[in-house]
Amino acid sequence: MADFNEATAVKLVRPGSYDVKIDDTWSVGDVPNGGYLLALILKAVAAESPHPHPVSTSAHYVAPPAGGEARINVDLLRAGRTTATLRATLVQDEIPRVEALITTGTLDRDAAVEWAGPAPEPVAPVDECIPAVVDLPDGSHVGLLEHVDLRLDPQTLGWFSGRPAGQLSMRGHVRLVDGTQPDPVVLALAVDSLPPTVFGLGRLGWAPTVELTVTTRSLPAPGWLTVHLRGRLVRDGWFDEEAEVYDADGALVAQSHQLARVRVT
């Protein structure tokens, strides 16, 4: 299996244009994971940006790509002293698949925290959490979990045994199987690595992402990432979820908001 760096490699074709190969083993069912696709895009953006780190990324998933060759086109919209804004499009078979706007800057892991809100509900320690499996009760195969070591808090895992908790909540710990340590690109994957929060309502199956916004707050320390997911509303075939990601030192390193579809029953 390709490791993370190989699976997210980009090859310069000409300024602003990069060839990529979408690895379809980083998928949920037959569809490449949205966080993995965003990681691919951020690799290309980093090669074009005058600033090294994505601090705000908003991606719209226009059409699902398949595994195989694709291209990422990056336009630098504005470059300033401390930030830059870029547009990136993942194209396959001449069809735009993902459109993203990214603001880049330079993050300082040693910057002092001036204020922080209350911490979310604790997650059970890694050794008390349950390793996620690649095959779900509804028959879905999650190839992504061959690459991501995901340990789920037992309190949010009732859906797996047919006893959903009845709320939009999911918590767990994440690291890459190949030993790649977290950075801002890995964080884009981490926010989309847990099962969808609607599983907590017993609504299993593919929940395609429509829009995903990721805010990077700091450069993460090496080690496990801890991810908290919560949602507010399921209505008319749509649901939302917000993520907070903490590093091994307990620092808040990423936040995200996602809008996705859910099967109407």
Instruction: Show pLDDT as tens, one digit a residue, over the chain (265 residues).
Output: 569 999 999 999 999 999 999 999 999 888 999 999 999 999 999 999 999 999 999 999 999 999 999 999 999 999 999 999 999 999 999 999 999 999 999 999 999 999 999 989 999 999 999 999 888 777 778 899 999 999 999 999 888 777 888 889 999 999 999 999 999 999 999 999 999 999 988 888 778 999 999 999 999 999 999 999 999 999 999 999 999 999 999 999 999 999 999 875 5
176 in a structural domain? yes
118 in a structural domain? no
102 in a structural domain? yes
What is the pLDDT at residue 71? 98
254 in a structural domain? yes
Give the structural domain span for 48: 4-107+124-261
What is the pLDDT at residue 143? 93
What is the pLDDT at residue 91? 98
- Tokens encoding 205: 């199956």
What is the pLDDT at residue 63? 96
* CATH code for the domain of 153: 2.40.160.210
161 in a structural domain? yes
Domain count, the chain: 1
31 in a structural domain? yes
113 in a structural domain? no
What is the pLDDT at residue 265? 55
Q: Is the pTM of this model over 0.85?
A: yes
203 in a structural domain? yes
